[in-house]
């Protein structure tokens, strides 16, 4: 199920929110109980003149150890991405209760996607046209590209780094909220992604930093919350989001 794998997309931020090298830690809870954690390291490489754009090197490591409907669920994932404002490529490896899968994906010059899924004894290659993918789950981890998810609300076709499949759902504005992060009150806005299998809610700060995500994993409600705010970026232009648009449309899941 895609909802199980979307536990792996718990971070986003903007250049305003992150220093050149930042590590963010999220506590993953089921109710009041901590069942896992996620650590995301973002290295921002400044642009070099007009030819070499700003690049973000992203590494995320997620661990979940809990019980769902009496059945143990142990998940360990590592994802590495290289992102610029125009494109992103990534490799993601996930082990869930001993079952492993590795997804390799890159966007070619015409905008289409080449995706390879490797499991023990099997290799599956997939191709998606540019119009079939709006964003990837790794975009939600990128300090700049995550803004596309919040500023262009409506229907989103999301390529999941953890499975290599594409899901489509409606994105809607959930309104303003306030959250306590490391003892600091941070204003934010809730954004919801609705799919037939459930709704995942994100809370972003006005600088684009993902503060919290709620989701269901095999019927269990999990919440991932940022433990502390990152250091402020000390170079480059600071951009602050001032509004979110709020269209909504029908939803369905795209099967391969």
C-alpha–C-alpha distance, residues 35 and 54, integer Å? 35
pLDDT in tens, 55-103: 989 999 999 998 877 888 898 999 999 998 888 999 999 998 899 999 9
% pLDDT > 90, the chain: 36
pLDDT of residue 216: 62
Identify whether the C-beta of residue 23 lies closer than 8 Å to the C-beta of residue 41. Answer: yes
**H or E element in which residue 151 lies:** helix 147-151
Residue 25, CB-side half-sphere exposure with 13 Å CA sphere:
6
pLDDT in tens, 40-52: 888 888 888 778 8
Average pLDDT of every residue of the chain: 79
C-alpha–C-alpha distance, residues 251 and 138, integer Å? 21
Which conformational region is residue 146 in: left (phi greater than 0), alpha (psi within -120 to 50 degrees), or beta? alpha
pLDDT in tens, 124-138: 999 999 999 998 988
pLDDT of 173 higher than 70:
yes
Strands 220-226 and 21-30: antiparallel
Strands 198-205 and 113-119: unpaired
pLDDT of residue 23: 82
What is the residue extent of each domain of the chain? Answer: 2-226
Least-confidence region, from 24-33, 161-170, 219-228: 219-228
Residues in CB range of 215: below 8 A, 6 or more apart = 3, 6, 7, 198, 200, 201, 221, 222
Strands 122-128 and 135-136: unpaired
């Amino acid at each position: 199920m895609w909802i199980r794998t979307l536990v792996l997309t718990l971070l986003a931020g903007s250049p305003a929110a992150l220093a050149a090298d930042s590590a963010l830690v999220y506590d993953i809870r089921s109710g009041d109980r901590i069942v896992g954690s996620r650590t995301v390291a973002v290295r921002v490489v400044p642009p070099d003149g007009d030819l070499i754009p700003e690049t973000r090197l992203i590494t995320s490591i997620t661990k979940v150890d809990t019980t769902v409907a009496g059945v143990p669920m142990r998940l360990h994932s590592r994802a590495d991405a290289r992102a610029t404002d125009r494109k992103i490529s990534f490799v993601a490896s996930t082990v869930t209760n001993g079952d492993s899968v590795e997804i390799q994906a890159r966007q070619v010059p015409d905008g289409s996607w080449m995706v390879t899924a490797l499991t023990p004894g099997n290799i599956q290659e997939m191709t998606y046209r540019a119009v079939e993918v709006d964003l990837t789950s790794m975009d939600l981890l990128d300090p700049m590209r995550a803004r596309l998810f919040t500023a262009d609300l409506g229907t989103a076709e999301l390529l999941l780094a953890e499975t290599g499949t594409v899901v489509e759902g409606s994105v809607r504005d959930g309104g303003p909220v306030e959250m306590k992060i490391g003892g600091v009150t941070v204003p934010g806005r809730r954004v919801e992604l609705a799919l037939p299998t459930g709704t995942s809610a994100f809370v972003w700060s006005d600088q684009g930093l993902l503060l919290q995500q709620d989701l269901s994993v095999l019927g269990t409600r999990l919440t991932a919350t940022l433990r502390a705010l990152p250091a402020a970026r000390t170079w480059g232009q600071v951009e602050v989001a001032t509004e979110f648009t709020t269209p909504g449309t029908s939803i369905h899941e795209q099967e391969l």
